[in-house]
Amino acid sequence: MLFTEELGIDLGTVNVLVYVRGRGIVLQEPSVVAQEISTGEVIAVGEEARAMMGRSPETIQVRRPLRDGVIADYHITRKMLAHFIDHAIGRFRLFKPKIMLTVPFGVTQVEKQAVREAALEAGAGKAYLLPEPLAGAIGAGLPIHTPGGHMIIDLGGGASEAAVLSVYGVVASAAVRVAGVRMDDAIVAYIRRKYNLMIGLPTAEEAKIRIGAAMPLEGQPLHMEVQGRDQVSGLPRSVEISSDDIIEALEEPLAVIMGMVKSVLERTPPELASDIIDRGMTMVGGTSLLRDIDRLLTQEMGVPVYIADAPMACVAVGAGKALTRLHILRRTLSEL
pLDDT in tens, 65-124: 998 778 999 999 999 999 999 999 888 777 899 999 999 887 888 989 999 999 999 999
**Domain residue extents for the chain:** 6-132+316-329, 135-178+254-311, 180-251
Q: How many CB atoms lie within 10 A of CB 302?
A: 9
Q: Do domains 6-132+316-329 and 135-178+254-311 have the same CATH topology?
A: yes
Q: pTM of this prediction?
A: 0.91
Residues pairing with 229 in the sheet: 198, 236
The CA distance from 130 to 210, in Å, is: 32
pLDDT in tens, 274-303: 999 999 999 999 999 999 999 999 999 999
> Across the chain, what does the average pLDDT equal?
92
Q: Work out the pLDDT band at 336, boundaries 50, 70, 90.
A: low
Q: What is the pLDDT of residue 108?
A: 86
Task: Give the three-class secondary structure for 128.
Answer: strand
334 pLDDT above the threshold of 80: no
CATH code for the domain defined by 135-178+254-311: 3.30.420.40
Q: Is 280 exposed, middle or buried (0-12, 13-18, 19+ CB in 10 A)?
A: middle
User: Apex CA 145: angle with CA 140 and CA 148, to 5°?
Assistant: 95
User: Apex CA 283: angle with CA 147 and CA 328, to 5°?
Assistant: 35
Distant-in-sequence, close-in-space partners of 323: CB < 8 Å, separation ≥ 6? 6, 8, 21, 98, 100, 128
129, 113 contact by CB (below 8 A): no
Q: Is 282 exposed, middle or buried (0-12, 13-18, 19+ CB in 10 A)?
A: buried
Q: Which long-range contacts (CB under 8 A, 24 or more apart) does 325-332 make?
A: 325/138, 325/168, 326/128, 328/145, 328/168, 329/130, 329/134, 329/168, 331/168, 332/167, 332/168, 332/169
Q: Is 229 exposed, middle or buried (0-12, 13-18, 19+ CB in 10 A)?
A: middle
Lowest mean pLDDT among 2-6, 248-252, 300-304: 2-6
136, 11 contact by CB (below 8 A): no
pLDDT in tens, 219-247: 899 999 999 999 999 999 999 999 999 99
Helices of type H across the chain: 47-50, 74-89, 109-121, 132-139, 180-195, 201-211, 243-249, 251-266, 270-279, 293-301, 314-322, 326-329
Q: What is the pLDDT of residue 335?
A: 60
Q: What is the pLDDT of residue 79?
A: 93
Residues pairing with 175 in the sheet: 161
Distant-in-sequence, close-in-space partners of 20: CB < 8 Å, separation ≥ 6? 5, 6, 7, 26, 88, 89, 320
For residue 180, which amino acid is it? G
Q: What is the pLDDT of residue 329?
A: 87
The CA distance from 97 to 81, in Å, is: 13
CA of 24: how far to CAs of 6, 8, 134, in Å? 11, 10, 18
pLDDT in tens, 34-81: 999 999 899 999 999 999 988 889 999 999 999 877 899 999 999 999
pLDDT in tens, 29-46: 999 999 999 998 999 999
Q: Work out the pLDDT band at 269, boundaries 50, 70, 90.
A: very high
How large is the average pLDDT for residues 122-143? 94
Q: Above pLDDT 70, what percent of the chain?
A: 98
Q: Work out the pLDDT band at 1, boundaries 50, 70, 90.
A: very low
How large is the average pLDDT for residues 130-151? 94
Lowest mean pLDDT among 51-55, 150-154, 251-255: 51-55
CATH code for the domain defined by 180-251: 3.90.640.10
The CA distance from 134 to 322, in Å, is: 9
Pick the CATH number of 6-132+316-329 from 3.40.50.880, 1.10.10.350, 3.30.420.40, 3.40.30.10: 3.30.420.40
